[in-house]
Every structure is written in structure tokens, then in C-alpha cells.
Amino acid sequence: MNKVYKNAKEALAGVESGMTLMLGGFGLCGIPENCIAELMELGLTDLTCISNNAGVDDFGLGLLLQKRQIKKMISSYVGENDEFERQMLSGELEVDLIPQGSLAERCRAGGAGIPAFFTPAGYGTEVAEGKEVRFFNGKAHILEHALEADFAFVKAWKGDRYGNLIYKGTARNFNPVMATAGKITVAEVEELVEPGELDPYFIHTPGVFVQRIFQGSNYEKRIEQRTVRTK
Amino acid sequence: MLNKNQIAQRIAQELKDGWYVNLGIGIPTLVANYVPEGIEVEFQSENGILGMGAFPFDGEEDADMINAGKQTVTLNPGAAIFDSSVSFAMIRGKHIQLTVLGAMEVSENGDIANWKIPGKMVKGMGGAMDLVASADNIIVAMMHTNKRGESKLLKTCSLPITGVKCVNKIVTNLAVLDIENGAFRLLERAPGVSVEEIQNATEGKLIIEGDIPEMKLNME
């Protein structure tokens, strides 16, 4: 079994315009930087991107927005990106804003073979428009459907040739759930190691969910809100 | 009248030993600075931390360790890291005892609006809808009136709502209020603020019964 690809260019073979993509990360933390750079390089258009956020104007998914490569975004919070807000308010960009927990669970459900589920989040708000409502234990819930993607792009700290992954700190966020929900999941890692080098007790994403893996390079790991205290 | 830090300080008086607490962006974040002596609480950050600590010292910040406001943070001893679906399982499953968040409007029946101004500001709801839909104990931290001097405590919200009938308590620069049977019940006044001032700044139904005490704060 060998899932190793040489670089982002090879690992993204088969990604086409019009596809639905998942991209891990929270803000700029744990985003698949190499895959995003390659998507920009490929110049694909009409992409539907499922990602908690949309990057900032000049980094992360913001790069694809600048080039008008994205047709539709499915996100929970996009407040750090002026270009996004502009494209959304002008109607150039289709946007589906959904509660963060529902987004995570919809990805989890997609990867876990659960087509839909009921959640209280969003009941009584515009998020619930057109969705089935049911009461459980006297409380209103809305029906949310699972999300799946043609490709899921995730970023991990360490990974092995079998696709087992370990994430670092809060760079975990949406990556593990999205890794389960891609028809093809591509993992880019800071450190690619041989099977046996990762402790099986501490694997976050078991390799079965990952189809392609490559050693990433030149990580910028930009910090959005550098907040420190003085000694 | 309270400043933002004092609003946070008053909310911190509500904390109880052993609670897991989610703090929203803005004034709620400041609550962490005023945890009363002798009690232990753990702060949850919905991007995947239990046991969130202080901001790092200059030079020790880590791009892979941030809070839900995308600020660099540290972990306290005994902290745990998890993915987003586990994080919201904690929230939806009612394992978090207190949620503190900001708001643009709150209505007298406990509806909250804090995510969208149609045609103007569209940033998204983030985790707010999940939090308010599930939490049993929600405190809103906000100014009593908006920049134009209009009440933010309304009969009905004019902005798109984030959740229905979910707010329990509101701490503003003027007052502490509970939501009770479709009305705001005035519990405490900010130091130097009269009941009349609070009444005038409150558009929704306000219940005032008996003497309303002043808040007790260690004023800075």
C-alpha cells in the first residue's frame, strides 16, 4: 500500500472545475496551504468550497476568491475577509452560511454514512427556512443533511505512508471530520514518516480515510491575531 | 455606569467551581480575567480547547495554538485538544455549564440577534447558533444602548435572530436583568445609575419590583 505522492501538483491530479471541495482549518490555523496554492496554480473555476472560514484577503481561501475561482462557499464565519463580504453582498458569490457545529456534524455525518440528522441549532432563524422541523422531548430541531466532497484537503502535523495522521494543537479543528468526508482525501503533512513511527495509541485520523498523502513544504503558518502579554 | 471590564467582572461573579464555560468574542473574553479567588473553572474554545490559558508571552506564540477569536493562546495544565465535531458535541450535549456572548439585540422573550445586519454586515454566525440553541445558561454581555442611543433590549428583535427564547441573563453597562415570562426583570443597577435611566433605555417590558440594589464590584 502506497498513498504517497511527490507533491501537491501530483496529489491534486483529477481535481476539476465545478467540483465540490472540503478544506480543513479554522481561520488560518491548520489550513492546507500547499493544496490551496496548487488550486490557484491550476486556475480551476466554479468551485464549491466547504470550509469553516474563507481565509483573509491575501492568504488561505482568500487567494482563490481574489481570482474568482470560487462559485459557492459553505462556511460558518467569513468576517475576516473584505473581498468575500464584497462578493457576497454584490451577489457574485453564492454563500451558504451555516452554524459551525452543524457544519462540523454535517461533515462528520457525510463521512460516517449518516445521510441527515436533527439539531436544535438554527431553529427559528433564517437557517431553518425550508427545513423540516421535528420536536424531540418538547424541543424543536431542524433537519440537516450530510456533506460530502469530491476532494477533501486536510493539513496534518505528521503522517505516514498509510495515511495515518496526527495534528498539532488547535490546527486539528475541522481537519479530522473533513478527512472522513472526501471521496478522495488528500493530506498534506509537515513530516512524512514510515509506518511504525507514529504511536497507534495517538493517531487522530486512521489511514483508511486518506487516499493520498504528501510531504508539504514552505509552510507560512500565518497568525491572524497575534496576541501576547509582556513578561 | 460600567465599562467593558466591569461588565466582565460582574459576570465573573456568576461563575461556580467546576463549571466549563464558553466565552464569546469581545466583552465575554474579558470574563477570564476576573475568575473569583478559590474557584476553578475551565474555559472552552469552540475551535477545540478545554482548559484555555492566558495569552502567550511575546516570542512564545504558536500559530497552531489559537482560540475561537483566532488569537494566539496557551493551554493550562490539564488542558485537552479535540476536533470541531467533538467540540460541538460538548456544546449541543449540554456539557458546558455557562455560555457568555455578546449581542446586538435581545428581546423580552429571550431571543438574541448577534450575527447579521442585512445588506451591511455579513460575517456569519460561527458557533453562536449552536451555543444559544443548546445551552441552558446563557448570559449576554453588551451595552444597554447602541451607538445611536437606541435600546438593545427590545420587544422583538429587528435584526435576524440567532436563537429563540434562549437568553437567561443580561449584564449591561447599566444593569443586571433576568428574562422571565416574556419580560426583562431588573435585578441590579450599575453604581450611580437610577432605575429611571434603566427604564428609559429599555424598550421591552421591564419588571421593577421593590428596591433595586446597586451591583457590588471592586471598582477599578
Q: Is B45 within 8 Å of A170 when comparing Cβ atoms?
A: yes
Q: Between B72, B92, B122, which is nearest A227 by CB?
A: B72
Set B37, B40, B42, B46: catalytic member: B46
Residue A231, pLDDT score: 80
Residues 6+ apart with CB under 8 A from B18: B40, B41
pLDDT tens per residue across span B104-113: 999 999 999 9
Q: Which residue stretches of chain A have pLDDT < 70? A: none
pLDDT tens per residue across span A149-192: 999 999 999 999 999 999 999 999 999 999 999 999 999 999 99
pLDDT band at B121 (very low <50, low <70, confident <90, very high): confident
**Which CATH number belongs to the domain containing residue B45 in this structure?**
3.40.1080.10
Q: Is B214 part of any domain?
A: no
User: Which of B22, B55, B64, B104 is best to mutate for the A interface (most A CBs within 10 A)?
Assistant: B64
Q: Is B8 left (phi over 0), alpha (psi -120 to 50) or beta?
A: alpha
How many whole angstroms separate alpha carbon B173 and alpha carbon B120?
Answer: 26
Q: Which residue has the higher pLDDT, B25 or A94?
A: A94
How many whole angstroms separate alpha carbon A150 and alpha carbon A185?
Answer: 8
Q: Is B217 part of any domain?
A: no
Strand order across the beta sheet in which B169-171 lies: B75-81, B49-52, B42-45, B20-23, B98-101, B138-141, B169-171, B175-180, B183-189, B206-207
Judging contacts by C-beta atoms under 8 Å, the chain A residues touching residue B48 are: 26, 170, 172-173
Q: Calculate the alpha carbon distances from A220 to A12, A186, B60, B119 in Å.
A: 20, 19, 17, 34
Domain residue ranges in chain A:
8-118+147-215
Which range marks the domain in which residue B109 is found?
Answer: 4-207
Residue A80, pLDDT score: 77
pTM given for the model: 0.96
Residue B219, pLDDT score: 58
Which positions 39-78 of A are in contact with B (Cβ < 8 Å)?
52, 75-78
β-bridge partners, A72: A48, A94
Q: Is B58 within 8 Å of A204 when comparing Cβ atoms?
A: no
Judging contacts by C-beta atoms under 8 Å, the chain A residues touching residue B157 are: none
| Amino acid code (one letter) for A5 | Y
Residue A224, pLDDT score: 94
Residue A79, pLDDT score: 79
Residue A81, pLDDT score: 83
C-alpha cell at A74: 459553505
Residue B119, pLDDT score: 81
Closest residue of chain A to B161, computed from CA coordinates: A125
For B107, the enclosing helix (H) or strand (E) is strand B105-107
Chain centroid, CA B76 distance in Å? 22
Domain count, chain B: 1
Q: Is B219 part of any domain?
A: no
A209 touches B: beta carbon within 8 Å: no
How many whole angstroms separate alpha carbon B154 and alpha carbon B59?
Answer: 46
Whether B60 is catalytic is: no
Judging contacts by C-beta atoms under 8 Å, the chain A residues touching residue B58 are: 228-231
ipTM score of complex: 0.96
Angle at A43 between CA A148 and CA A220, to 5 degrees: 80
* Mean pLDDT to the nearest integer, B101-129: 93
| Amino acid code (one letter) for B29 | T
Residue A220, pLDDT score: 96
Which positions 160-189 of A are in contact with B (Cβ < 8 Å)?
168-177
Question: What is the CATH code for A8-118+147-215?
Answer: 3.40.1080.10
Q: Using a pLDDT cut of 70, give the percent of chain B over it.
A: 99
